[in-house]
Amino acid sequence: MQVNKQYIIILLSFLLTMTVAAQNKKINGNIALQMSLNDSMHVITATVTNITTQLPVKNVELTFYVQRTFGLMKVAEGTTDTTGIISAEFPLDIRGSDSSGKMTLLAKVYDSDVMNDTVFQVVLKSKLSFPANKPIPRSIAGAHAPWWLVITFILAVGAVWLLFVYVLYLVYRIKKASLKKINS
């Protein structure tokens, strides 16, 4: 009985895929990614196949991205050949997106005439990990200015405020002096 339910679910998912494919002239595809390394580059090979026929799909524009903290960084792009394969290279020195050194690579088909929009992602180990949470040293260009610069700034702002207070004191004395009667 349990086996029959699994076959029914597979059959329904197949019919749903066929229905969507029949409504839209674009095909539904699958992207398989293989990673390898050479001396200075990551080499990624993607194979794009049709889900229903398992045949390779040609002329599909594929873009490769690396997940960053606030978005996606494009690392490569290209079009599949007649065998449905595309190879791309990107540098080894791309840092991982977390402290464990893992990075997420995405292969994305977007706005294609041949295939529906598809995204496939894989998590891989980067040679460079994200910098650890360590204190930032004081520098002029950084968020923490050197002590001598902080003290100079405080003295300059203090001098301006003292000058402002002194001018208010002089205005007060002028007004007080104008109210006195002159004895002649």
Which residue ranges make up each domain of the chain? Answer: 2-125, 135-184
The predicted pLDDT at position 21 comes to 47
pLDDT recorded at residue 179: 83
Query: Residue 35: which of 129, 131, 127 has the closest Cα?
Result: 127
Looking at residue 41, the DSSP 8-state letter turns out to be E
What pairs with residue 72 in β-bridges?
67
Do the beta carbons of residue 4 and residue 26 sit within 8 Å?
Answer: no
* Residue whose token pair is 């792009």: 77
Q: Cα–Cα distance between 25 and 150 in angstroms, integer?
A: 66
Residues of the chain with pLDDT under 50: 1, 11-12, 15, 21-22
* CB neighbour class for 127 (10 Å; exposed up to 12, middle 13-18, buried from 19): middle
Instruction: Answer yes or no: are the C-beta atoms of 44 and 105 closer than 8 Å.
Output: yes
Phi/psi at 169 (5° precision):
-65, -45
Q: Which fold has domain 2-125?
A: Immunoglobulin-like (2.60.40)
- The model's pTM is 0.56
Sheet with 41-50: list strands edge to edge. 29-37, 41-50, 85-91
